Each structure stands twice: as structure tokens, then as C-alpha cells.
Amino acid sequence: MSYLDEIPITPIADKPSTANRTGTWRTFRPIIEYEKCTRCMICWKFCPDVAITLENGGEYEATNDKIKQMVDKAPVIDYVHCKGCGICANECPVNAIQMVKEG
Amino acid sequence: MVKKVITGNGASANGARLAKPKVIAAYPITPQTSIIEKLALMVSNGELDAKFIKVESEHSAMAACIAAQNTGVRTYTASSSHGLALMHELLMWASGARLPIVMTDVNRAMGPPWSIWADQQDTIAQRDTGWIQFYVASNQEALDTIILAYKVAETVNLPAMSIEDAFILSHTMESVDIPEQETVDSFLPPYEPKFRLKVGEPMGFGSLVMPEGYMEFRYKISEAMDEARNVIRTVGKEFGETFGRKYGLVEEYKTDDAEVVLVIAGSVASTAMEVVDMMRDEGKKAGVLRIRSFRPFPYEEIRKVAKQAGLIGVFDRSYTGGFGGAIGTEVKGALYNSDASLPVKNYIAGLGGRDITPKVLRKIFEDMFESLNGGVKKEVEWVGLRDGSGRW
């Protein structure tokens, strides 16, 4: 069968765009300093690629008791999809995200 | 069947209602507004089971139709002139996404100079968007064409536009047969999409395709448009069997023995047919070929008429700066590699709603006879131009 016969009438992808590993496009890697992070979630709201997820406890647990009482979730960068645009670092009100050049 | 005296916009709204779209997304613009006003009322009083989405622009109206149609439902919208121009990007998307959306455009001139009156510039400018284009000549046809257009569009998976003249049809009342819902349902079964987005099954539509893979998708659109040519003939015949009104790609009027034939689209064709009768009473063999489907272009019908005619005149209610009118150039294009060898003259008239009276059309026919005998002196001529020459 030729390519013409094989293709549908319009391009339809059976996988969502999360299947694309866009993290390889990154030049600068955002790194969250969890000691500074107040868990305000502004970075999570602003991320244009939904590449920041919210995780519970463990290594992301807040060191500050006041924050710990208010919220138990922390923002975590999904490096498989983060393109390194730096919007999160720009928006962070306490400068808890540093952009570090990929090695 | 109920006969009612209604406007062209009333006819279009009823055509849309009978086709049972599940989503209508539209933005008002003169002279189209009364179509969607009527549909909004039908939705609000429960006469039509559809979601009416009020949007902030025509661009959004088509975007909403595209998204809704991708979930597997029938959609409808309507626009005019600058509204249609604003839709342009999404018109391209609808055909590329192969969604059989149906819309009505009420033909209105483009500004500036600002104008709300009839000419075909708005839809002619959308010629290359991959939409099927039907130009209607009566209010009855406006209603019928929407029902017919859904069937054609859903068969070939291309969007289709029913086009009616501003005010001459849109706001003028005529007697219209409004078919019963059961009859329409028997002709137009519920929409069965070839693909659709389902909740819980993520899919991507309109994905990026690399240069090695792009052309074949466009070729498929071209194939579908060619297929539409035959589908329109078949569905038009079937429509005639169901409703008693048959439609084709064109309407021929006394072309069999005509020495001169005027090719024309829109409601002005009916005036031209009256003038043909007047000319025939005087022994002058004139005929009219009304273009109903401009996309796909009815080149076979035009070649057939050209075989026996002596001269073809093409009436364009729009122009393409630098080379006459679009229908004029396409008629010439259709004839070039055919057996026919006859002169073609292009008339540009009626822009911005300028009245095209029987007197004006008579002068065009007389000029066609003069050109038949004495040769075409001017290939493209603007009719009724107030240039002080007194020619028209």
C-alpha cells in the first residue's frame, strides 16, 4: 500500500501531545530551592506546558512549619516535558527557582 | 409541507433547523443577523435541540464549530462580508480537518467604501479555502440548499457554504415550501462522523506533518472536491425525488439553441432569464447558464454549452484586480483545453449592491450579440460605470 492509501483523510494522532518528550529542547533547567519555596503554586499556574506537577511530602516536604500546616503539596518540575522557557523562575515571588544551563 | 411567505434569512434559518445541528456558534453582522436571531429563538423556545454559543467574533464562531464538529455533531453558522473575511483562517482549518460544517453566507460587498449591500466579493475571496460553494437564486433554494449541503458535505467530508444575496433575498419575502421534519429526516439521516473525539480517549487533530507527508493530505482534499461534483449531481437528483425540486451544479435556461449564453450566479440569474424571454420574443436566441456550484467548478456543463454557442458572456458581481472577474477567468480556463473555440467576454456589474435591472441585462445581451458579429472589442468591461461615456 502506498503512503497515500495508508494515511487518513486528515492527520489524527492517537496519542496526546504528552507523548512528545519536549524536555530535550531545553537549554536552561529550572531548579526549585525547596527551602525558599512557599508552595504558593504560582509557578504551577503559569507553566505554559503543564510541566509542573504537585507532589506530596517526602523530599519535597516543607522545612518551614508554618508552610507545612498550610499546604502539603509542593511543585515539582517534569523534566521530560519542561522546555526551559523560564516563565516559572520569572514569576516566582520569592526567587526560589534558578535557571541553570544544561551541561 | 407548509407554504409560508418568509425572507431568505427566514428560509436559511428554517433550513438549518430542519437539518438538526447540535451546535450553532455565530456572531451577528448585517445582513446575516436575522438568521441567527431566528435560530437563537428556536433554541430558547425548545423548537430546536441545540447548543447556541454566543462568541466574540466570527473567527471564534468557526473555531467553536470546528471543535464541536470534532466531537461528532452537526454544526451550523452564518456570516457576511467582513465577518466571513475574519473567519478566513478557520475556513481553511475546517476543510483541512475534513469537517462537514455547513454555513450560510449572505453576500455583502467588502469595504472600503463601507457597504452593506449585495455583491459576491466576500465569498469569491474564499474560493481557495476548500469549501463547497453554492450560490442560490431564491428563498426556496436557500432553505433547500442547507439540507442538501449537509448531505453532500458529510458524504465527501468537506465543509459547504450556502450563499444568498444581501437584501434581494435575505430581507425580501417569497413564498417558500417548508418541508416536514419527517421528510427531511428520511433524506438526511443523523450525522455519522468518520472520526471523532471521545471523552477518555485522548487524540490529537491537525498535527504537524513533515514536508515528506504533507502534499498527500492536500491531494485528498482535491480528490474530495472532484468527488463532490458527482455527489452534488446524485444528491440533487435524490432531493428532487424527495421534495419535488431537483438541483444540479448549474441551471440551464434555453441554452440548447442559444447563440449567446450568459454565465451568471446568484439571484440576478432569474432577472437574466426574464430578459432571455424578452429577447426570444424578438427572435434573438439568447440563453442563461446559472452557476449554482462555484466550488467544485462545473467545467463539464460549461464545455457542453460552449459546444453549440457562438459567444459566452460571463457576469461577475465581483472582480479580481488585474484580470477581470473570477467566474470569467474560470470559464475561460475551463474552455482552453476543450473542443470549443469561441469568444468569451467578461462583464463586471452590480458591485456594492448597484441595481441590476432588466434594462442593464438587456444591454449586456445586446452587447453580446454585437460582439458575436463584430468581435469582442473589450475583453473585460465594467457595466454601468458612471464614467460620463453614456455607453450603458
Per the CB < 8 Å rule, is A10 touching B206?
yes
CB B326 within 8 A of CB B127: yes
Secondary structure of B47-112 as H, E, C letters: CCCCEEEECCCHHHHHHHHHHHHHCCCCEEEEECHHHHHHHHHHHHHHHHCCCCCEEEEEECCCCC
Task: For residues B80 and B223, state if they share a domain.
Answer: yes
Residue ranges per structural domain of chain A = 25-101
Task: For residues B215 and B72, state if they share a domain.
Answer: yes
CB B122 within 8 A of CB B84: yes
Q: Is the peptide bond before B189 cis (omega within 30 degrees of 0)?
A: no
Task: Please tell me the distance in Å from B384's CA to the nearest CA on chain A.
Answer: 46
Residue B86's pLDDT band (cuts 50, 70, 90): very high
Task: For residues B257 and B238, state if they share a domain.
Answer: no
Per the CB < 8 Å rule, is A12 touching B204?
yes
Task: For residues B152 and B178, state if they share a domain.
Answer: yes
Strand segments, DSSP code E, in chain B are 2-7, 23-26, 51-54, 75-79, 102-107, 132-135, 160-165, 173-178, 204-205, 250-253, 260-265, 286-291, 293-295, 311-316, 344-348, 380-382
Task: For residues B67 and B24, state if they share a domain.
Answer: yes
For chain B, say whether A7 makes contact (Cβ under 8 Å): yes
For chain B, say whether A50 makes contact (Cβ under 8 Å): no
Measure CB to CB from residue A10 to each of B213, B217, B219 and give the nearest one.
B217
Burial of B183-200, coded b for 16+ CB within 10 Å and e otherwise, reads ebeebbeebebebebeee
Task: For residues B292 and B320, state if they share a domain.
Answer: yes
CA A30 to chain centre: 9
Tell me, yes or no, whether B200 lies in a domain: no
In chain B, the number of structural domains is 2
The percentage of chain B sitting over the pLDDT mark of 70, rounded to a whole number, equals 100
Tell me, yes or no, whether B235 lies in a domain: yes
Q: B55 φ, ψ to 5°?
A: -115, 170
Tell me, yes or no, whether B388 lies in a domain: no
Tell me, yes or no, whether B389 lies in a domain: no
Task: For residues B71 and B22, state if they share a domain.
Answer: yes
Angle at B37 between CA B33 and CA B40, to 5 degrees: 140
Which is it for the CA torsion B171, B176, B181, B184, positive or negative? negative
Task: For residues B214 and B333, state if they share a domain.
Answer: no
Task: For residues B229 and B265, state if they share a domain.
Answer: no
* CA nearest to B210 within chain A: A11
Q: What is the pLDDT of residue B111?
A: 97
CB B56 within 8 A of CB B29: no
Tell me, yes or no, whether B70 lies in a domain: yes
Q: What is the pLDDT of residue B34?
A: 98
CB B79 within 8 A of CB B105: yes
CATH number at residue B18: 3.40.50.970
Task: State pLDDT tens for residues A44-61.
Answer: 999 999 999 988 876 777
Residues of B with Cβ-Cβ distance to A4 under 8 angstroms: 216, 219-220
For chain B, say whether A1 makes contact (Cβ under 8 Å): no
Residues of A with Cβ-Cβ distance to B157 under 8 angstroms: 9
Measure CB to CB from residue A3 to each of B202, B207, B216 and give the nearest one.
B216
| DSSP string for residues in B292-318 | SEEES--HHHHHHHHHH-SEEEEEESS
Tell me, yes or no, whether B147 lies in a domain: yes
CA B275 to chain centre: 23
B301, B268, B319: which is closest to B135 by C-alpha?
B268
CATH number at residue B312: 3.40.50.920
Q: What is the pLDDT of residue A65?
A: 80
Q: pTM, whole model, 2 decimals?
A: 0.90
Domain that holds residue B259: 251-382
Beta pairing, strands B160-165 & A28-32: unpaired
Task: Please state, rounded to an integer, the average pLDDT across all residues of chain B.
Answer: 97
Task: State pLDDT tens for residues B280-323.
Answer: 999 999 999 999 999 999 999 999 999 999 999 999 999 998 88
Tell me, yes or no, whether B119 lies in a domain: yes
Arithmetic mean of pLDDT, B131-140: 98
Burial of B242-279, coded b for 16+ CB within 10 Å and e otherwise, reads ebeeebbbbbbbbbeebbbbbbbbbbbbbbbbebbeeb
Measure CB to CB from residue A4 to each of B194, B203, B219 and give the nearest one.
B219
Cell of B23: 451546535
- Integer angstrom CA distances of residue B308 from A101, B41, B220: 77, 51, 35
The CATH code of domain A25-101 reads: 3.30.70.20
Residue A17's pLDDT band (cuts 50, 70, 90): confident
Task: For residues B278 and B182, state if they share a domain.
Answer: no
Task: For residues B26 and B131, state if they share a domain.
Answer: yes
Given a cut of 80, whether residue B131 has pLDDT beyond it is yes
